[in-house]
Structure 1
Amino acid sequence: MTDTILVTGASGYLGRNIVRDFVARGIAVRGLARSDSSAKAVEELGATPVRGDVMDVPSLRAAMEGVTSLIHAAADTNHGRTTKAQEQTNLQGTRNVYETAHAAGVKRAVHISTEAVLMDGRPIVNADETWPLPAKPAGGYSRTKGGAERIALAANGNGMDVVVVRPRFVWGRDDTSALPQLVEAAKAGRLAWFGGGTYLTSTTHIANVVEGVRLALEKGRGGEVYFLTDGDDVPFREWMTELLATQSVDTSSVKSVPRGVISFIVNTGELLAGLSGGAISGPLSKQEYATVGNTVTLNIDKARRELGYVPVMTRAEGLAELKALAAKA
């Protein structure tokens, strides 16, 4: 029987790059699409679009008919205050996906998680997969993605292997979300270095995420989690400066803000958001600060050892590619 892979979130940044890679390898791919525009994007990638939503179980049943493998990339990545939509998509939506996959006889699944499941506002240094999820997550994104990961791992077994991957700070070509937002913030004077920005961060080029997902689908052990990164760490300020330079954005005038000031701003914003039911919010959420304001470095020895994972794109190569693409635009 020919393998057929279903990708949820197929028109998103992660999803479309995963779809593009598998199609190029001659694999039959279906992409779950919530709208006509998403369906068109999936079709243009060479995959078969199937209309549906993770909250619509009948549509999931139809999408998974005859599917042998699943890549669950759909998620609400909002880093602000938790919303009902985020809880529904990341928690109930994930539950719907794996329950339907079991019923459809899907054999292998890769769940796209995130290092954010470990975030509680403190630095994360050389974390491996044995680190526990925190009792008090930094925000709604960490909490709901942590919950989604638990749901995915609980679905492992009874004929279906579920493997979880956690990339950190996904970047690179075809980024229509994070990089444009960073460029806009820098040009508007809203970018600042937190405490000098000298803390280290891991990163994961989109090509390396796709490679890790492919290997996880082929070789990953069911019920296991694997971190994915570019294989080395970099000071956050240096990284942002290099990344924005590919878009001809100069960061030499960006100011550094003391951590005490940042903490006051974050805590005040969280308080106002809580008191106002989200009607008022500060300029920086606790989730955002935990994501970009602290050391976050990850150990990928397990992925190297068990998956044979080797990054296919170095940071220097990825930056050069972005610069070349920007020059052509």
Structure 2
Amino acid sequence: MTPSAPRPQPPHTLPEPRLRRLFLTGGSGYVGRNLVRHFVAQGVEVHALARSASACTLLRSLGAQPIEGDLFSPQLHNAMQGCCALVHAAADTQHGLASKAQQLTNVEGTRRVFAAAAQAQVARAVHLSTESVLLDGRPLVNADENHPYPEHPVGGYGATKAQAEQIALAAVQTGMQVSVVRPRFVWGRDDTTALPQLLQAVDAGKFAWIDGGRYRTSTTHIGNLVHGIERALLAGQSGQCYFITDADAVEFRTFLTDLLATQGRSVSDKSVPRWLVHAVATVSERIARLSGGRWHPPVTRQALATSAVEVTLYIGKARQDLGYAPIVSHAQGLAEMAELHRARSGTAG
């Protein structure tokens, strides 16, 4: 009896690629450090771009092989040789006024990185983006990946990251498998971005809720983001964007109160009207532009777009395409941060 030919497997059951050598930009940043720890623990050889000697030392201590240079290094493609995958996490994330430096890093830097990856014949790439590419200052409610870019971006960060997304996705034309990951409000252990700024504002007595903070927000624990990036590398559909967030949206005020409590801080009920803060931001930005950059506004519309209205995202596409499922709950992430804070401060549990 002649054996029958094996039946072809449907696409979603095909074996996933094995990551052997990964090239990472932004490796010494908050997300980058956690990506290095994660992939090194899995036996992946991580080559991470580093702009300074201190960044090289840090990356080496985490088990990565540092590559000294920046996004514009002329031999960047040589450094990527032999890497099967790329994660482009480097970015200028400041939420102030639009600047030439931010345009250079986020737009031209992304163009250089993906050109180098194509030259080095890197097979797969994930570009780390942000929900800010969709923000125009109005609420964004349960948005999915079909939501269009705004006609009038609220600030330089969102505008340049939207341009960077399009550059990354255009690399599909070179034969590279490219996916874009969009987190929202990254938080958790080892946070050197949002949390220090919040703590500084609280400790200086400058923190106030906007309209009471009683609006909803999606959030992304760093562990869930790292997991989502890995799933995008392994199973992402080329040319597609994916929102990666925690399982549930939460009230902005409740979440920040709980987050700050893990650091032994409490916040007052002080609140300011949204219209007033928006007016201050609008006028301040105009004055700052007239000053030629010599004066910096106390608040910008870009910052308000991320923190003064509801921003909630739907992650059904990531669940379906990537097999993504959040692995860290709000309760688990907050408990971990509280325990780490107690350990650092030497207080009892």
Q: Same fold (TM over 0.5)?
A: yes
Amino acid aligned to 1:21:
H
One of 276, 282, 285 as aligned partner of 2:297: 282
The equivalent position to 2:339 in structure 1, one of 307, 311, 324, is 324
* Structure 2 equivalent of residue 69 of structure 1: 85
**Residue matched to 2:309:** 294
> In 2, Cα distance between the equivalents of 1:197 and 1:2?
42
Structural mapping, 1:183-262, within 5 Å: 183-251=199-267, 253-262=268-277
Q: Partners of 2:123 and 2:54 in 1: how far apart? A: 30
2:94 counterpart letter in structure 1:
N
How far apart in 2 are the matches of 1:263 and 1:83? 21
Question: Matched residues in 1 for 2:294 and 2:68: separation?
Answer: 33
Matched, 1:81 2:71: no
Q: 1:27 aligns with which of 22, 41, 44?
A: 44
Identity of aligned residues (%): 53
For structure 2, the residue ranges without an aligned partner over 5 or more in a row are 1-17, 345-349
8 Å Cα contact 2:19/2:85 also seen in 1: no
- Partner letter of residue 337 of structure 2? L
Matched residues in 2 for 1:98 and 1:225: separation? 16
1:181 corresponds to = 197
The runs of 5 or more residues in structure 1 that have no matched partner are none
1:303 has 2:303 as partner: no
> How far apart are residue 282 of structure 1 and its match?
2.3
Task: Find the counterpart in structure 2 of residue 45 from structure 1.
Answer: 62
Deviation of 1:274 (Å): 2.1
Q: Does 1:154 align with 2:170?
A: yes
Matched-pair contact (CA < 8 Å) for 2:21–2:47: yes
Aligned pairs, number: 327
TM-score (norm 1): 0.97
Q: In structure 1, what is the equivalent of residue 283 of structure 2? A: 268
Following the alignment from structure 1 to structure 2, what is the Cα–Cα distance between the partners of residues 50 and 267?
42
> How does the TM-score come out when normalised to structure 2?
0.92
SS at match of 1:50: strand
1:87-166 matched pairs, under 5 angstroms? 87-166=103-182
Could you tell me how far 1:9 is from its partner in structure 2? 0.4
2:188 pairs with 1:172: yes
Partners of 2:38 and 2:275 in 1: CA distance: 45
Residue identity in the other structure for 1:153: L
- Bigger Rg, structure 1 or 2: 2
Q: CA deviation at 1:276?
A: 1.6
Could you report, residue by residue, the CA deviation over 1:128-157 in whole angstroms, capped at 9, with x for unpaired residues?
000011121110000100000010011113
Tell me, yes or no, if the aligned pair for 2:78 and 2:120 is still in contact at 8 Å: no
Match of 2:4 in 1: none
Letter in 1 for 2:306: T
RMSD: 1.1
Distance 1:16 1:37, change over 3 A: same
Runs of 4+ in 1 over 6 A off after TM superposition: none
Match of 2:3 in 1: none
Q: Name which of 9, 25, 28 aligns with 1:8.
A: 25
